[in-house]
Chain A
């Protein structure tokens, strides 16, 4: 019921009430009646829910989250490397 699918807007009807979105290769129509005039443009990423565009996805915020995850993984790698060196240093059998 509350799940929503990220999609990309590929077409907007002339009266701006309906758009066509691409959801991972599947094309379908969605109502724009909840978004206000000029709320959505072609190329926008949107969340789709029961046939409506419910909100635009903020590209900057999405990229910033992805960047954070990348940094966390890099920091983890670095920490694991340090840990491995530390364990190696402390190894009694050296």
Chain B
């Protein structure tokens, strides 16, 4: 092949014959191992590829997939969703957010419910749309409910950068950005009894694709070095995932424990330095961020630096935003699923009381949630 065409980036990385070829390689290599290998795919995007293309059926029985907590909507605790609900219900606020956030139920309902009660809630494709909304609604406060991992954090930072450069005074931010390596460490290190038993089950990580585009593969350096867990940063296409699995199996076969990149066409060791620079300019770590199902995870969340607190909706609206933690529905096991302790099918309300049309847990709401993937691709639709 002489020159790359756009369709190569789709077709060649979804090619059925190549997927089958990797299945054969993995089967051959895995047969030589006298053990099971449990691979956590940290990212919800990977979970969907794995389920959509039926990859668990293509790998031998001693290779197990454990679905990780890498779905920003799924890990959002109810009290943060309540913040969005409360802010949306303010008569002078337009609440703007991304993705499936609009459907996730908090203790007061979802943002969709808020909208039906008259709140102005808008779903945007790009955070930059906030600028247009702010200019069209000068008497309103635009609150951008920012969610996501390292992948979406720089976009929020660029928006703030533009807000300041353009002297826009009616955009505020409610920041819920979280970071991946800290939660991976939590899963390995925590003394929580559940996670402890789970600790023994993670043998290797399939590193997230687009988190790594921004942050670089360097963020996983300590996992092979300090924790003895190989990491292979892999792309989202099925051929990428199968090649990533094959690379992990080969590491075990050859007694290696390394950080490798399968997704070399976009990921390098250092990542996008411009994006990292703009994040560092506006954000700093919070000492604790509460994750749904995992509880408080040290250094895993971000907040606006104090000098930008006039843009921080949690500061501006501090008097109306409650601080108390809210527990999940008793029958929902999203917490265990997010810890990799349970599969969606082990939940008693999966596919019955909890469905995409009436989700009880956030893993059923988000298009990246494990329950949603099992429901969609498990012939339940």
Contact = CB atoms under 8 A, between A and B. Distances in A.
Contact of B155 (A2, A3, A34, A66): A34
Interface in B22-61: 22, 24-25, 43-45
Contacts of A62: 4, 8-9, 265
B62 interface: no
B126 A50 contact: yes
B236 interface: yes
A2 B266 contact: no
Contact of B152 (A1, A63, A67, A70): A1
B139 to A, nearest CB: 26
B4 A63 contact: yes
Contacts of A56: 266
A67 to B, nearest CB: 7
Interface residues of B, number: 60
Contacts, number: 141
Given A3-B45, A4-B213, A69-B15, A22 B6 contact: yes
Contacts of A69: 12, 15, 18, 21, 239
Given A1-B73, A2-B368, A7-B6, A72 B18 contact: yes
- What band does the interface of chain A fall in when counting residues whose beta carbon is under 8 Å from B? 35 or more
Nearest to A62: B265
Interface of B: 1, 4, 6-10, 12-13, 15, 17-18, 21-22, 24-25, 43-45, 70-73, 98-100, 125-129, 147-149, 151-152, 154-155, 158, 161-162, 208-211, 213-214, 236, 239, 243, 264-266, 272, 274-275, 278, 366-368
Contact of B266 (A33, A58, A66, A76): A58
A24 B152 CA distance: 23
Interface string A40-54: 000001010111101
Contacts of A54: 151, 210, 213-214, 272, 275
Given A51-B128, A65-B243, 17 more contacts: A1-B72, A1-B366, A2-B43, A24-B10, A34-B155, A34-B158, A35-B274, A45-B6, A49-B210, A50-B98, A51-B127, A52-B128, A67-B1, A69-B21, A72-B18, A72-B21, A76-B21
